[in-house]
Copies of this chain bind each other. A is one copy, B any other.
Amino acid sequence: MTAYRGKYADELIANAAYIGTPGKGILAADESTGTIGKRLSSINVENVETNRRILRELLFTAPGALQYLSGVILFEETLYQKTAAGKPFVDVLNEGGVLPGIKVDKGTVELAGTNGETTTQGLDGLAQRCQKYYEAGARFAKWRAVLKIGPNEPSQLAINENANGLARYAIICQENGLVPIVEPEILVDGSHDINKCADVTERVLAACYKALNDHHVLLEGTLLKPNMVTPGSDSAKVAPEVIAEYTVRALQRTMPPAVPAVVFLSGGQSEEEATVNLNAMNKLKTKKPWTLSFSFGRALQQSTLKAWSGKDENIPKAQAALLKRCKANSEATLGTYLGGGDLSEGASESLHVKDYKY
């Protein structure tokens, strides 16, 4: 058997294709308790379950926003939370035509003998956890592998280990009904130029797709969540059209057409940058046999968080900010985003945090 053909095969293919529907994308709302704590702290909000619940309710019930989303990635706690009126978030999403997803990795650990390179944990008991999540309504999963660019990085060990981990996670998900988002994030940290990023991205993606093939993963039932190809955070910026060209070329050189969609991560890009870059990719006239969409966390929530600041009276304002970014990114998937306009506070703010862990 070449690729997974078990009981969930058709469902995986249908769900992966749905997530890549033009005009839609993913809201990554899967910040762990520790990470969301940092966000809440930046707006002086206490990191308690209630506040975490309120924030996610604010996001998922923002009027008009769900039409622009095909999926939302949840942290485990959120998968079981409800609105103040008692409706499970999973039902809110399903009623809005949005697939619930679940972060299943357990963070990174350092690889001995490397210069701070990491691999990702979470394989132990993963099958059982996936089954539970499927029962709770999840239909896709996410696992973040992290690589960095340096004089000797990424090392072959880091590439192999992370690619293999992604492939094991992916097949276990598929066996249990969840579409795996494959996320090999190459951090933007560094002073390298865009060519170096392209080189590394192509090598990493080639390794990932070889590993997925080795592990018999059904590519038609997967998604890719890569970094865009950009200069390092300490290098001179380039135009969105250049980022678009390098990114799409890297995908053309490594990603088989069987994969239905790419859902880009935003890395440390500001809300506006992330949207404009995605838009440029969708305007590019070249071979693109997969949808190019978004799976943004910070780049969808930054100005919303600021507008909310933890106050009930700010909720409508905050929801309006979210709607604005969702609509903008929806247009970006169609290549019709006209840019700028009246940007909310925070929309142009770089969201880069050095050596980001979340």
Contact = CB atoms under 8 A, between A and B. Distances in A.
Given A210-B206, A287-B257, A2 B199 contact: yes
A254 interface: yes
A256 interface: yes
Contacts of A250: 2
A195 interface: yes
A286 to B, nearest CB: 9
Nearest to A213: B206
A207 B214 CA distance: 9
A239 interface: no
A253 B199 CA distance: 22
Given A219-B253, A252-B258, A289-B257, A2 B198 contact: yes
Nearest to A286: B257
A246 to B, nearest CB: 10
Give the interface size class of chain A: 20 to 34
Contact of A256 (B2, B207, B213, B256): B256
A53 interface: no
A255 B199 CA distance: 19
Interface in A263-317: 287-289
Contact of A2 (B1, B195, B255, B257): B195
Nearest to A1: B199
Contacts of A207: 210
Contacts of A258: 249, 252-253, 287
Interface in A172-227: 195, 198-199, 202-203, 206-207, 209-210, 213-214, 219
Nearest to A199: B2
For the complex of A and B, list the 9 residue pairs with the smallest distance between their C-beta atoms, beginning with the closest.
Answer: A206-B213, A2-B199, A210-B210, A252-B258, A289-B289, A252-B257, A253-B258, A287-B289, A257-B287
18 contacts: A1-B199, A2-B203, A2-B250, A2-B253, A206-B210, A206-B213, A210-B210, A219-B253, A251-B257, A252-B257, A252-B258, A253-B258, A255-B256, A255-B257, A257-B287, A258-B287, A287-B289, A289-B289
